[in-house]
Structure 1
Amino acid sequence: MSFVKFNDDNQIINFVRDHSDLFSCHSELAVEEISDGNLNYVYRVSDASGNSLIVKQAPPYIRIIGDDWPLTQDRIRIEQQSLQLTAQHCPQVVPEVYHYDSEHCVILMQDIGDHDNLRQLLIDRTELPLLAQQLGNYLAQMMFRSSSMAMESTAHKALVKTSQNPELCKISEEVYFWDPFCDHERNDVNPLLKDEAQSVWNNSELKCEVAKLKRRFMSDTEAMIHGDLHSGSVFATTDSCKIIDPEFSFCGPIGFDIGVLFANFLLNYAGQQNLPGDRCERMTYQGWLLQTLSDIWQQFSTHFASLMQTETLDPSLSEPGYQQWYLQQIWQDSLGYAGVEMTRRTIGIAHVADIMNIEDPELRADSERLSLQIANMLILQRNTLSTPKQLDDAINQLRT
């Protein structure tokens, strides 16, 4: 059956009434399109009493481009699977799924409009005291529970099979590991940053390290990862956080999600160098960002280590020396993938508001240079920066 997009509000409302009991049959419903990503159509359906839900529909193409760029609709199944798996282990951090319809490629889910987008919260210099604990626990639980340490071997291999996501992985392989490290036509480079971009493209040592990270991304099936865990995929309040849009999810290297998350804190760090506002306030917030990054790792590594020690099924993976080595490998991978994410967000196709909101081109270029400096350091020195403290010191040296 060919795909049928919702063409008007009545079609959406009828679908919601047929597949959800959230609204009274007598209530008048309103539809608002809130699509702000590149791939899908997203709508909020609400009534006058304050009840609401989200409708997400995946067309067989990239939404902002149309039929000229076809894209598998299986991504909506992957997203639903990832949300359901996360709900089993960390129900507090994902919106509840009310209904999944494979024929229409639609998910109905909880509206998290009472949370704010983390990227904007960081730009606004909002401190969130519980965020590091929440994100660190989520990462530890999900990475351990979906790995071969916690799952029987055949069950883990079945998860690897059902989570295969080749088309979206191919996009990531290109926009993370290929485009930003060569003079690719898709790149969007600030003209004031041409020399720095050229230096990246000519750096054989850097590209060799990126190739090593890409190999792990393409071949390692450690755990079910989100695959796109930037700050725009996290919504938060002072006491809660929610994670959305896991359509890039697949079984991949644990350090990738952690690294992408780290990178988005560091991209904001680079942006705070020149975003509007009091300089002392911006510097203080840069300190909070580095501390939060350190706290996320501390929370993750402590919780993950505890799970490894007490719940690993395979005795051969229970050796304390192995577990210590494994955590260090995840840390090093996380730094490397953070550097790749920062590079692609600075000279690749997809930039971030944390830096693009800087109106003055010279000041924006200054933050972009800092971003690239941090990125290069993370990729090239990931095996020698052994602790968050060493990372903080190295970053602070670049800033000065």
Structure 2
Amino acid sequence: MSTVIQETYQPLTEETAILLAKERNLFSENSTLSCTEIGDGNLNLVFHIKDQDGKGIIIKQALPYAKVVGESWPLTLKRATIEAEALKLFKKHAPDFVPDVYYTNEVLAITIMEDLSHLTISRKGLIDGNEYPLLASHLGTYLANTTFFTSEFGVDKGQKKELVGKFINPELCKITEDLIFSDPYFDAETNDFEPQLTSTVEKLWKDTELKLQVALLRKSFLTEAEALLHGDLHTGSLFVSKEETKVIDPEFAYFGPVGFDIGQVIANLLFQAIAFEEKSDSIYSQVRTFWNVYQNQFSILWEHDNLEPFARIDGFLSSTLQKYFQDAVGFAGCELIRRTIGLAHVADLDGLPDEKERIAAKEKSLALGRELILKRNEFTSIEELVTFLQTKKYE
């Protein structure tokens, strides 16, 4: 049998992916294996390998370029190592919500991990009308644990500095900096929107008040290494069922402001409320549950596991959570805008079959995104945010 492990990078094929699984002894010796490449993202190959009994594994391999553009947009393969290390660290702190990692190889830029094919990508499931009653509470618990135990509150300050260095991720952070915090606010080539939105988008480009606040949020993203973030925590990065939630794809992981991941979750739930108004009350309830579980779990960890000498000072916890929350509201607004007119859209909006409804939903997304960015520091509680959403003052 020819070996797959080698000294130079080569993209796997379905055939060599099977050879690799056999080399790693991940199946019994006499297994009959089948393999399908299932990646539908822009940055990676993803192979699903199964034996005759249905036992499976996933092999994810980073590509040295972005598929959405091609080889003219080169990307570092180091992101595969960052993703694997992030999965391991998140697994340590939130074991119920992260898949097992079986093997990594830095040369091939691969991670072999638990097969989650019995679950559904949450964005697809939500668009199809399914309900996941535990999703919000699972995400609140996951993020509370991972952000607390990678912050200075939950890890030795020297160890945290070492982790910050380990997760320096400049190329993928640059993608976020450009596609979320810069390009949508200028007439950039990467932007992508329907002609019917041109008037609204041009007003946005001239909105200096909005652009100032986006600049401040961008500065926070660039400079505040509060905790290890997933960095791309949208509903397409979650495998779910009614009982389970698994967080995948942390290749954008880096140390940044805690509110960024929280805001990504909120925004990607809100796309459902915008696209399917009949579901809005249910979605707002999930947003409320998500934040309440987050702050309750974070508060418990603060009380029992805090390494910070000032932890017992009145007001420190509440001011920390308030900052996270208000940052999250602003970052959610940025996500709503960029997914509507930037390079990477969401199927929640793009999949609406009726053109008039689709354009109306995108107008709402832009209006809501703007309001969340501008008003983020006015919200002092989740109830105030939910009330604002329910009254649709942004229309």
Task: Tell me by how many angstroms 1:65 deviates.
Answer: 3.6
Question: What SS does the corresponding residue of 1:315 show, helix, strand or coil?
Answer: coil
Matches within 5 A, 1:301-316: 301-316=295-310
What is residue 298 of structure 1 aligned with on the other side?
292
What is residue 101 of structure 1 aligned with on the other side?
105
- For the Cα contact (< 8 Å) 1:308–1:318, is it kept in 2? no
Q: Does 1:359 align with 2:364?
A: no
- Name structure 2 gaps, 5 residues minimum: 1-6
Query: 2:194 and 2:381 mapped to 1: Cα distance?
Result: 33
Question: What SS does the corresponding residue of 2:239 show, helix, strand or coil?
Answer: strand
What is residue 179 of structure 2 aligned with on the other side?
175
Task: Tell me by how many angstroms 1:129 deviates.
Answer: 1.6
What is residue 127 of structure 1 aligned with on the other side?
131
What is residue 386 of structure 1 aligned with on the other side?
380
CA RMSD between the two structures: 1.3
Query: 2:314 and 2:287 mapped to 1: Cα distance?
Result: 25
Task: Tell me by how many angstroms 1:243 deviates.
Answer: 0.6
- Name structure 1 gaps, 5 residues minimum: 274-282
TM-score normalised by structure 2 residue count: 0.96
Query: 1:154 and 1:379 mapped to 2: Cα distance?
Result: 34
Task: Tell me by how many angstroms 1:125 deviates.
Answer: 2.7
Task: Tell me by how many angstroms 1:320 deviates.
Answer: 2.8
2:368 is aligned, of 354, 369, 374, to 374
Query: 2:367 and 2:14 mapped to 1: Cα distance?
Result: 48
The one-letter amino acid of 2:106's match is S
Indicate how the Cα distance of structure 1 residues 379 and 64 shifts in structure 2: closer, same or farther if over 3 A, else same: closer
Question: What SS does the corresponding residue of 2:138 show, helix, strand or coil?
Answer: helix
1:88 is aligned, of 83, 87, 92, to 92
How many pairs are equivalent?
388
Question: What whole-Å deviation, never above 9, does each CA across 1:340-372 have from its counterpart, x for those lacking one?
Answer: 000000111111110111122221110011111
The one-letter amino acid of 1:336's match is G
Deviation >3 Å, runs of 4+? 63-66
Query: 2:298 and 2:122 mapped to 1: Cα distance?
Result: 24
Query: 1:318 and 1:369 mapped to 2: Cα distance?
Result: 45
TM-score normalised by structure 1 residue count: 0.94
Query: 1:20 and 1:299 mapped to 2: Cα distance?
Result: 40
Question: What whole-Å deviation, never above 9, does each CA across 1:15-48 have from its counterpart, x for those lacking one?
Answer: 1111143x12111111101011100111101111
What is residue 5 of structure 1 aligned with on the other side?
11
Question: What whole-Å deviation, never above 9, does each CA across 1:133-178 have from its counterpart, x for those lacking one?
Answer: 1111101000000001111111000000000000000010000000
Q: Does 1:220 align with 2:224?
A: yes
1:350 is aligned, of 329, 340, 344, to 344
Task: Tell me by how many angstroms 1:194 deviates.
Answer: 1.0
Comparing 103-112 with 314-323, greater Cα deviation is found at 314-323
- % identical equivalent positions: 37
Query: 2:110 and 2:389 mapped to 1: Cα distance?
Result: 43
Matches within 5 A, 1:138-153: 138-153=142-157
- For the Cα contact (< 8 Å) 1:3–1:60, is it kept in 2? no
2:212 is aligned, of 205, 208, 215, to 208
Task: Tell me by how many angstroms 1:307 deviates.
Answer: 1.3
Task: Tell me by how many angstroms 1:64 deviates.
Answer: 4.0
- For the Cα contact (< 8 Å) 2:191–2:341, is it kept in 1? yes
